[in-house]
Amino acid sequence: MLEKELIPNLFRTEYQKIVSVLCSLFGIHHIEIAEDIVSDTFLAASETWAIKGIPENPTAWLYTVAKNKTKNHFKRNDIFEKKIVSEIKHNSPLNGEDIEIDLSEQNIVDSQLAMIFTVCNPCNSDEAQIALALNLLCGFGISEISDAFLSNKEVIYKRINRAKEKLKEENIKIQSPNPTEISDRIDTVLKTIYLLFSEGYYSTSQNTTLRKDLCAEAMRLNYLLIQNQATNLPATNALMALMCFHSSRFEARTSESGEIILYQDQDEKLWNQELIDRGTYFLGKSSIGDTLSKYHLEAGIAYWHTLKSDTSEKWKHILELYNHLIILEYSPIVALNRTFALSKVMGKQEAIIEAEKLNLTDNHFYYSLLGNLYIDIDNQKAKNHFETALKLAKTVSDKNIISKNILELSSKTKK
């Protein structure tokens, strides 16, 4: 692999590992120092490798340089040494040379787990947690995060800094969570990973590579939880199953020009059977015990969508799962999606009655659904709903799909 390709790839895979270890070492109040050391390490790699060539083991080179830079920082900064080294070594009179920077595989995993529970802290908003997770846990830069959120760099920069400051104000400890902390906070952690995946799966960004990266990072973080016995819980496996099922259709969801392809129009030969099989495996693992989370139900719905056949049995299963999901955790979007399943089981007229009760007048999906339900029942009404949806839609892909429906209805009306 060429240096210009290798360094970005290593940055994506190794940055968050080294940052997690150094953050755990320094503590939440000195998180920026950890980030600076790792950034300097990659800068050194870029400069040195361009002159001397790529080392035999690039990852080991990065780890060695990061360790040396950390020790040099301790030696250079007497104040830092007095305040931090004593804390790390329980007030022992040590210098920077004595500090152990453990970049073993096990400590990296433990440190990343500790960082997940630190970043996914309810003291910050969902939006802030996701931005901080992308930055600290996934190694995404400000530009990439601003692209993902269709926001400017200044807004994202401030959001991440405020989130860090909030963690410092609350004096959040970066440490492996104990059983009580896991029980209390696993829901917040899973929610953040779920939202991170959702941002990638239905992203407002037109950057398809970025969208896939967001989903891959969410799955990587979730897998870290599965690898740890204390966090390998039914809900954790259910979320992994859900993400596997959704990711299996990633290649079929967009055309070569980047436009969204609706489920019924997707080429199932492009579906990734290996991911479907992995999803089925994790769904089976999630059934241990008597826990039922929203991830179990959503994973079940996603499983049935991996079967392309449009049978009444399939849609009855999906509708039943939506019924349970609405009782367990109601949301307008879940109710909206349930209405589509209802149309497949009970017919369009019944679904229209249920859909109009929702009255989601600020949501383009609501009007798009009504537009589809009214097709061949009242085409003019269907067209009106699509036109309202077009005004509310934000992404180019959504607008293109809606415009296509309007054109098809217009040609029907002329006939």
Q: DSSP secondary structure string, 211-237?
A: HHHHHHHHHHHHHHHHHSTTT--HHHH
Give the side-chain half-sphere CA count within 13 A for 185.
20
Identify the CA nearest to 214 among candidates 158, 112, 121, 144: 144
* Mean pLDDT value across residues 396-408: 89
How high is the pLDDT of residue 196? Answer: 87
- Confidence class of residue 93 from pLDDT cuts 50, 70 and 90? very low
Predicted local distance difference test score (pLDDT) of residue 316: 96
Q: How many Cα atoms sit within 13 Å of 180 on the Cβ side? A: 0
Q: In which band, very low, low, confident or very high, does the pLDDT at 91 lie, cut at 50, 70 and 90?
A: very low
Burial class (CB in 10 A: 0-12, 13-18, 19+), 197: buried
Banded model confidence at residue 415, pLDDT cuts 50, 70, 90: low
Does residue 90 carry a pLDDT above 70? no
Q: Residue 317: enclosing H or E segment and its boundaries?
A: helix 312-328
Is 105 exposed, middle or buried, given 0-12, 13-18 or 19+ CB atoms closer than 10 A?
A: exposed
CA–CA distance, 65 with 45 (Å, rounded to integer): 9
Tell whether the model's pLDDT for residue 138 goes beyond 70: yes
More confident site: 72 or 284: 284
pLDDT at 145: 85
Statement: residue 32 has pLDDT above 60: yes
Predicted confidence band of residue 94 (pLDDT cuts 50, 70, 90): very low
Rounded-to-integer distance, Cα 372 and Cα 367, Å: 9
Whether the predicted model's global pTM rises above the 0.75 cut: yes
User: How many angstroms separate the CA atoms of 165 and 172, rounded?
Assistant: 10
Q: What is the pLDDT of residue 79?
A: 52
**Res 272 pLDDT > 70:** yes
Look at residue 4 in the predicted model and tell me its pLDDT: 65
Predicted confidence band of residue 97 (pLDDT cuts 50, 70, 90): low
Going from the C-alpha of 413 to that of each of 28, 376, 379, 409, the distances in angstroms are: 63, 10, 7, 6
Domain-by-domain residue ranges, the chain? 1-103
Whether the pLDDT of residue 151 is over 90: the answer is: no
Structure tokens at 83: 């305040």
One-letter amino acid of 321: L
120, pLDDT greater than 70? yes
CB neighbours (10 Å) of residue 204? 16
Q: Render the burial of 136-167: b for 16+ CB within 10 Å, e for the rest.
A: bbbbbebebbbbbbeeeeeebeebbeebbebb
Task: Tell me the pLDDT of the chain averaged across its residues.
Answer: 88
305: pLDDT strictly greater than 70: yes
Amino acid at 9: N
Q: Stretch 131-147: mean pLDDT, rounded?
A: 86
258 or 151, greater pLDDT: 151
